[in-house]
Amino acid sequence: MHMLLSGYDPVVYSRMLTGLTLAFHIIFATIGVGVPLMIALAEWMGIKRGDDHYLLMARRWARGFVITVAVGVVTGTAIGLQLSLLWPSFMKVAGQSIALPLFMETFAFFFEAIFLGIYLYTWDRFKNRMTHFWLLIPVVIGSSGSAFFITIVNAFMNAPAGIKVKDGQIIDISPFGAMLSPAMPTKVSHVLVTAYLTCAFVLAAIAAWSLLKGRNHAYYKKALKLTMTAAFVFLLSSAVIGDLSGKYLANYQPEKLAAMEWHFETTAEAPLVLGGILTDDNEIKYGLKIPFALSILAHGVPNAEVTGLNDIPEDEHPPLYIHYLFDLKMVFVALMVVIATAFMLTYRFNRKLAYSNKWILRGIILAAPLAMLTIEHGWIFSEIGRQPWLLRGIMRTSEGATVSDHVDTMLWVFAALYVVLAFSSVTVLIRMFRSNRAEDEIAAKGIQGGEEA
């Protein structure tokens, strides 16, 4: 009765709180996955080239990484707590079917944390620097493994596998079958590559900012070259995975593909729609239609038939505004491609200009928040595009949420926590590096770098 009189809906508040937590956590989770790989690349370059600038790069990145790991632990713990409290019915099903990767994700984090401590403690303690480098590999494996296993759970939510449902009860459970959901290959690869891409751009933006401020030291040039080369490679990889993701949607989640492209009639030679306004009778005005592109995205050939929303029960349609989420994400990706390509081409023909052109440096600085926003938009698009399902075809979102009171109070409490964590982590990181600039550390320690970048 209280819920009816007050307009309080625990499902809505549960979705809001979970969404807020995931949106905040994914920033630190992305950094936690991508930065260890960039640290490994920098240390490898330093050892192989005998260049202490790259070794210092790895060391400085590792210092900042520790701060983000600490915040990621807090927000990750909050997610675990909220899954149990806010989504009890889902966790009951998950405990029966997909608990193995949930456990393995925790194990992967412990594996990462143990070796991270050893790696940080043993700087300059080995005569053979490769010994120290090999201690970082478990950190890279553990961080990527955490993302791998938790994304398997999300893939299961989008395309449940390894279970059978009879009379509302789950039977014939195959834990490994559940892990091998049809969504798993594209989901996992997309999450990992975009995390690497985002961190490459974030670290590139720090170097670009320093160069833009006139700190024309070889250290920053080498950092920019390393990170932008990595970003360019990961951009190409993400494009291939994005194409495969479209083909997955066409075969396993046609309603999401149709909703994101406002594709209502099942037709061959389907166009891909960018922008536009949808009228009440499902006509698209002012949209840019690219002929055959949706058929190519869905099945690889221009005359392929693509399922329309009219052939899917109306109560299973995702919200149609995901069209704009997808378009905005693609705008961000296009801008990042332009920025990365501009730097690589400029570097190819005029290295000095690549490090001094203000527009290129400003573009790289812009690419960092764009990359993180693309990550955020991608998750929002994925989760909203699965609605009304929590477990597609098995459990609706309204069936999985708690019916308890006070979720709205929890929302405000956790929001305040995230504000404090965000302010604290940003303040610590800024003070850590502003008071200890790379060129000052190089001069104080007499570090000698190799050739110019």
Domain boundaries, the chain: 10-183+386-445
Which DSSP symbol is given to 372?
Answer: H
Q: Specify the pLDDT at position 100.
A: 84
pLDDT band at 448 (very low <50, low <70, confident <90, very high): low
Give me the DSSP letters along 50-71: T-HHHHHHHHHHHHHHHHHHHH
10's CB contacts (< 8 A; 6+ apart) are 3, 401, 402, 403, 404, 405, 407
**In sequence order, what are the beta bridge partners of 166?**
169
Q: Of all residues in the chain, what percent are helix, strand and coil, respectively (each to 5)?
A: 75, 5, 20
Burial of 14: CB neighbours in 10 Å, binned 0-12, 13-18, 19+: buried
Instruction: Give the pair of three-digit tokens for residue 210.
Output: 């320093």
pLDDT digits (tens, 9 = 90+) for 88-116: 888 877 777 788 888 888 888 888 888 88
- Spatial CA neighbour of 188 closest among 437, 334, 382, 14: 382
Q: Which of 74-78, 298-302, 449-453 bottoms out in mean pLDDT, i.e. has the lowest?
A: 449-453
DSSP tag of 280: T
In this structure, are residues 127 and 153 in contact, taking their beta carbons and an 8 Å threshold?
A: no
> How confident is the model at residue 446, as a pLDDT?
64
- How far, in Å, are 26, 35, 242 from residue 40 at the CA level? 22, 9, 26
Q: How confident is the model at residue 449 (pLDDT cuts 50, 70, 90)?
A: low
The 10s digit of each residue's pLDDT in 166-217 is 766 777 778 888 888 888 899 999 999 999 999 999 999 999 998 888 888 8
Question: Predicted confidence band at 368 (pLDDT cuts at 50, 70, 90)?
Answer: very high
What is the value of pTM for the model shown? 0.90
To which residue do tokens 């305040």 refer?
416
Which tokens is 141 given? 């494996």
Q: What is the pLDDT at residue 2?
A: 44
pLDDT digits (tens, 9 = 90+) for 375-424: 988 888 888 888 888 888 888 888 878 777 788 888 898 889 889 888 88
Quick count: other Cβ atoms within 10 Å of Cβ 393?
Answer: 10
The pLDDT > 90 percentage for the chain reads: 19
